[in-house]
Amino acid sequence: METTTQPVVPTKAKPLARPELLAPAGSLEKLKFAIHYGADAVYIGGQKYGLRSNADNFSFEEMKEGVEFANRYGAKVFVAANIYAHNEDIEGIEDYLRNLQDAGISAIIVADPAIIETCRRAAPKLEVHLSTQQSTMNWQAVQWWKENGVDRVVLAREASMQEILDIKKHVDIEIETFIHGAMCSSWSGRCVLSNHFTDRDSNRGGCCQSCRWKYDLFTESEENPLFEQGDEAFSMGSKDMCMIEHIPDMIRSGVDSFKIEGRMKSIHYVATVVNAYRQAIDSYLADPEGYVLKPEWVEEINKAANRPLNTGFFYEMPDHEDQIFAPEDKPNEYDFAGLVVGYDEAEGMVTVQQRNHFKPGQEVEFFGPGGTFFKQKVDTLWDEEGNELDAARHPMQRVRFRINHPVKEFDMMRKKSGKTK
């Protein structure tokens, strides 16, 4: 992970507050995993008005179930309603916001002033969190939003650490920043490539992620590409942000909510990343003077990483080294292989719900909330009727085998990616 760091010195000495760890939840199952693995709050999308129209967005019934689950853990559920609305989007927004309020949602994440004003009038129990889509960068803009009824401001991904410190110095309002996940190749929330190439509006939930495509170059007068046959195609994707190594700086900055990007990411990704940040945050707050970054936290993050990592705009302006122009070496990739659904302590036998193919003799890893972790090889494998298996081939099939350490329900099993047949 590449970074240039400068120590963060808070503008005023005061007790360190416990920041909220805010996780993505693209589905009800992901919501439960995110909270179980340590998220204080999750953000989801409804079936309207959000910027991830291709996610498994929530019905109102699913929202209610998600809120009930979150309440058992003392967690909150936020809903992204952060499109820039056109005239045809406005009809029905009042009823939609009232239904969110009735479902027990704690806050909406919103960019359009019209939706903010409508929420204040129609669903006053909902907190209003200003979306990063507004690209808020300075304390005067934050003050203006506070005076106009916003409860929290999600800063632009492009905000630096010094800008965050200045904002916290001048304005008494909750501040949320992204600490992990994808960065935009354009200025966040201002890209129109998707609109131009595919007629899918990135500011109305339809982004096709055209910045991740592969491109070639052509001269104006010739049809032949400039790249030679076999050359790597050109791309312009940015590296992903990762602040796991800089949790002390983030906490000392006074940021109220640490946000992880990724409502379209897998359950394995959500659980792994949330688990690592939860441990780092809790460890620092328990002993700021004796805090030490554990290598296993960084290793866990790398197991879930899809792209190379950096520290975004926090410490310096990204340059060409922070873009991905060609394939790069990736950390070891892992697949979510199974979910622990039962454990017989007397027999040392685990029951796993299969999520990816695995077989006897293959090394797997078990991990769970709070640092549960061990590796072992799969020995004899049985189905629920006691029949011996040569592999776990069928998605969602429940299989049993002996393990070397205790596990709990919701612990996960993963394997290195590979074409096991």
The answer to whether residues 273 and 404 belong to one domain is no
- Residue of 83, 70, 80, 82 lying closest to 20 (CA atoms): 70
Structural domain includes residue 224: no
Structural domain includes residue 93: yes
pLDDT at residue number 13: 52
Structural domain includes residue 410: yes
Q: What is the pLDDT of residues 378-412, one digit of tens each?
A: 999 999 999 999 999 999 999 999 999 999 999 99
How far is Cα 282 from Cα 278, in angstroms, rounded to an integer?
6
CATH code for the domain in which residue 359 is found? 2.40.30.10
pLDDT at residue number 236: 74
The answer to whether residues 167 and 109 belong to one domain is yes
Cα end-to-end span (Å), the chain:
34
The answer to whether residues 77 and 126 belong to one domain is yes
Beta bridge partners of 350: 343, 401
pLDDT at residue number 264: 86
What tokens appear for 222 in the block?
Answer: 């010739």
CATH code for the domain in which residue 57 is found? 3.20.20.380
pLDDT at residue number 363: 97
For the chain, which residues score pLDDT lower than 50? 11-12, 419-421
The answer to whether residues 285 and 160 belong to one domain is yes
pLDDT at residue number 324: 79
In the chain, how many domains are there?
A: 2
The answer to whether residues 110 and 161 belong to one domain is yes
Structural domain includes residue 14: no
Domain containing residue 83: 20-188+237-324
Boundary-marking domain end, from 297, 324, 351 = 324
The answer to whether residues 34 and 81 belong to one domain is yes
Beta bridge partners of 103: none
Boundary-marking domain end, from 299, 324, 349 = 324
Structural domain includes residue 401: yes
pLDDT at residue number 421: 40
The answer to whether residues 105 and 162 belong to one domain is yes
**DSSP assignment of 142-199, as one string?**
HHHHHHTT-SEEE--TT--HHHHHHHHHH--SEEEEEEEE---SSSTT---HHHHHHS
Structural domain includes residue 343: yes
pLDDT at residue number 230: 66
The answer to whether residues 92 and 173 belong to one domain is yes
The answer to whether residues 403 and 274 belong to one domain is no
pLDDT at residue number 420: 43
